[in-house]
A and B are shown apart, each in its own frame.
Chain A
Amino acid sequence: MPDLRPGAGRTPAPGEPAAREELGLVDRMRLGDETALESLYARHGGLIYALALRIVADPELAREVLQDTFLRCWDRCSAYDAARGRLVSWLVSIARHRAIDLLRSRPHQARLREREALTELRPEAESSDVTHTVALRRAIAGALQALPVAQRQAIEMAYFGGQTQAEIASALGQPLGTIKSRTREAMERLRAVLWPLIGPGGEAQKDRG
């Protein structure tokens, strides 16, 4: 029975059960086994949807991103190379690119509710999570929250907004140099806090599930 616990936040070492399991899913997808895609969706769909929502801020567009992401994952599963990163990172990068594309090509549709708190969204049931996944999620969210507001804004506009430093500077009416130093300081702080967790041998590696 496949382990359907979310594998988010863990860098599986080769041979570690979660890594083998995910490689097994990729192998099955390559053979055309749709149930493997379904398992992947069960595992990471909530995260991908959340990311899409965060970027495009519109549920319909976010759904499009989600669907496109998994279809693209299916189409290109032969090209997935485990040596280049975790499966979830691959999914995330597909989703982020697609979402930023839509953000740029349909700006009138996206970000309509940028200022609204998206409170009506249903968070995914926590029961499917394991302890270390939740802990890592909170650590990452906490690290972002702990940044000075201006630094956090620079990071978020870059990552979730897909904007370059020049675009951010222009959008905020700030000099480019200011944005560069905010970004640099933010990334240094985040690296100091998060690398011990997500790097090899980090807390995120340990299976506390």
Chain B
Amino acid sequence: MADLREHPDDDLGAYALGALGEPEARRVESHVATCATCRSVLAQHRAVAEALPLGLEPVAPPPEAWAAVRADVGRHRPPRPRGARTGTRPLWRHAVWPALTALVASLLVWNVVLQRELSHRSPGPAPGPEVEALSRRPGRVVTFAGTGRPGASARLFVPVDGGQGHLAISGLSALPRGRTYQLWFVRTGSPTVTGGTFAVDARGVAWAKITIPPSLHDVRAISVTEEPAPGSARPTGDGLLEGKP
């Protein structure tokens, strides 16, 4: 059954604008499903339609707009996983959903703990915006026990998406020149690797950037030792603090 007007040339532009009524839109759709020429023309019209808003001069939004978005996002709304259409994202399959819930819970802990660390840090160089940014990233907290130094305590903040972690530490004494504290990741099946060195201030407090290894799966312990400056390739001192990831 031949249509009088086989190619809906007149309607392709309107379709791209979303300006066709229902029956006409459906007719265009069923036609382009089988017609490569019209499909290609439609693609051009669609690109034009999508370009129209790009002709607008941007207008600065009111500041409260972003604040409202951030507040809502920060209220523990991790992106909802939708697997099917993106195809290659096994990470977001159902099996991982419980892990995401745990992640959200640890986000809460993370924020609370960070806030406490912040409030304990009076006066002294405040970590400031760095900590702000860190507190907004989902991550884990590793708590250390002062096995070798009773009274010392530490928490390591590990962002879930990699990148630098941060160590908040207290209860260690300031070291003389030529000595430094060093953090280690003790791994199963791989050599122990360092996360960096740091010094505590006169109050025995430090807030240090730590390099996190690519994977924590094979890390069985995290420890802090005292080493000769500027640090050692392998731990030589006794473990002062120990934590388990």
Chain A interface residues (CB < 8 Å from chain B): 6, 8-9, 11, 28-35, 37-38, 41, 45-47, 49-51, 53-54, 59, 63, 66-67, 70-71, 74-81, 85, 88-89, 92-93, 96, 121-125, 136-141, 143-144, 155, 158-160, 162-166, 168, 180-181, 183-184, 186-188, 190-191, 194-195, 198-199
Whether B31 sits at the interface, judged by CB under 8 Å, is no
Closest to B58 in A: A46
Question: Which residues does B use to contact A, with CB under 8 Å?
Answer: 9-14, 16-21, 44-45, 47-62, 64-66, 68-70, 72-74, 77-83, 85-86, 89, 91-92, 103, 107, 133, 136-138, 160-161
- Contacts between the two chains (Cβ within 8 Å), count: 203
B51 near A41: Cβ-Cβ < 8 Å: no
Interface of chain A, helix or strand or loop or mixed? helix
Q: List 10 A-B contacts (CB under 8 A).
A: A9-B54, A50-B53, A51-B53, A67-B69, A88-B54, A123-B57, A137-B55, A144-B55, A165-B20, A183-B19
- The reply to whether B14 and A183 contact each other, CB–CB distance below 8 Å, is yes
| Chain B hits for A28, CB < 8 A | 161
Chain A contacts for B21, CB-based, 8 A: 164-166
* CB of A50 to closest CB in B, whole Å: 4
Nearest B residue to A60 via CB reads: B62
Point out the residue from A32, A164, A199 that lies within 8 Å of B78, measured CB to CB.
A32
Q: How far is the CB of B90 from chain A (nearest CB, A)?
A: 12
In the complex the two chains form, what is the Cα distance from A93 to B81 in whole Å? 20
* List of B residues within 8 angstroms of A137 by Cβ: 54-57
Known: A32-B79, A71-B69, A199-B44. A47 touches B17 (CB 8 A): no
Q: Complex: how many Å from CA A33 to CA B160?
A: 9
- Which residues of chain B have C-beta atoms less than 8 A from A93's C-beta? 50
**Minimum CB–CB distance for B24 against chain A, Å:** 9
Residue in A138, A158, A195 whose Cβ sees the most chain B Cβ within 10 Å: A158
Known: A46-B59, A159-B52. A32 touches B137 (CB 8 A): yes
Which residues on B sit within 8 Å (CB–CB) of A121?
59
CA A164 to CA B21, docked complex, whole Å: 6
* A137-B56, A158-B14, A191-B48 given; 4 more Cβ-contact pairs under 8 Å: A37-B69, A59-B62, A81-B86, A162-B18
**Assembly CA distance A9 to B53 (angstroms):** 10
For B103, list chain A residues within 8 Å (CB). 32
Measured between alpha carbons, how far is A155 from B16 in the docked complex, in Å?
11
